[in-house]
């Protein structure tokens, strides 16, 4: 990171810490080697083989900004994987290029559908939604709300939820179930899916 802008510094540090990515802070005019330099457009140092991410290009959305940094750093597959645990509290986990960039609990299928639409802005070659079907009505509701993107922009897999929910704090339990669902291969589904 190479900036004297306090707002940019804080924004970059927040994202890097959330992702667990080690970093060093430099002044923009110092000479140093790095695979990626986070800076502002006005402080950008020209030359060198470093990839640049400008503070002005961040969206303010933690999911999209994390994915921007990971996509620049990672040599991993350009894959977006979303695990969803339906129910009264809908657990969601988002992995981009193999790293978790978002986890959360949503109260309604419409919010999950909005997240899926927002994630379309990521440059993933492959987008997969793994949806648990242990609670068929909840799964159907999510499929209805996101029908404009499921099957078209995302591959949909229906996953057996057995043994995905462990004990613990309620909201954490829903996110952990979504993580376990995301790690299991499901059966490909076409919309509308009537095979429940």
Q: Distances in Å between the alpha carbon of 12 and those of 7, 99, 115?
A: 9, 17, 23
Sheet of strand 90-96: strand arrangement: 99-106, 90-96, 79-85, 126-132, 155-159, 187-188
pTM: 0.80
Q: What is the mean pLDDT of residues 105-110?
A: 95
**First-to-final CA distance of the chain:** 50
How is domain 79-188 classified at the CATH fold level? Nucleotidyltransferase; domain 5 (3.30.420)
Helix (H) or strand (E) holding 18: helix 6-19
pLDDT tens, residue by residue, 172-194:
788 888 999 999 898 888 765 54
**Per-domain residue ranges for the chain?**
6-58, 79-188
pLDDT tens, residue by residue, 109-165:
999 999 999 998 887 889 999 999 988 899 999 999 998 988 788 999 999 887 666
Q: Is the pLDDT of residue 196 over 60?
A: no
pLDDT tens, residue by residue, 6-65:
999 999 999 999 888 899 999 998 888 888 899 999 998 765 678 889 999 999 998 899
Structure tokens at 143: 């499929």
The number of residues making up the chain comes to: 196
Q: Residue 168's pLDDT is what? A: 57
């Amino acid at each position: 990171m190479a900036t004297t802008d306090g707002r940019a510094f804080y924004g970059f540090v927040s994202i890097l810490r959330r992702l667990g990515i080690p970093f060093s802070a430099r002044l923009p005019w110092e000479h140093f080697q790095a695979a990626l330099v986070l800076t502002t457009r006005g402080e950008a140092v020209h030359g060198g083989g470093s990839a640049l991410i400008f503070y002005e290009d961040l969206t303010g959305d933690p999911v999209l900004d994390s994915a921007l940094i990971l996509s620049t750093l990672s040599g991993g597959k350009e894959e977006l994987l979303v695990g969803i645990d339906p129910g009264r509290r809908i657990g969601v986990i988002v992995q981009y290029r193999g790293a978790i960039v978002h986890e959360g609990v949503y109260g309604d299928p419409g919010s999950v559908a909005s997240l899926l639409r927002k994630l379309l802005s990521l440059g993933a070659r492959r987008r997969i939604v793994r949806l648990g079907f242990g609670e068929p009505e909840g799964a159907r509701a999510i499929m209805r709300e996101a029908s404009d993107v499921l099957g078209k922009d995302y591959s949909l897999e229906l996953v057996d939820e057995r043994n995905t929910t462990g004990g613990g704090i309620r909201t954490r339990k829903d996110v952990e179930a979504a993580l376990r669902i995301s790690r299991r291969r499901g059966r490909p589904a076409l919309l509308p899916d009537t095979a429940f």
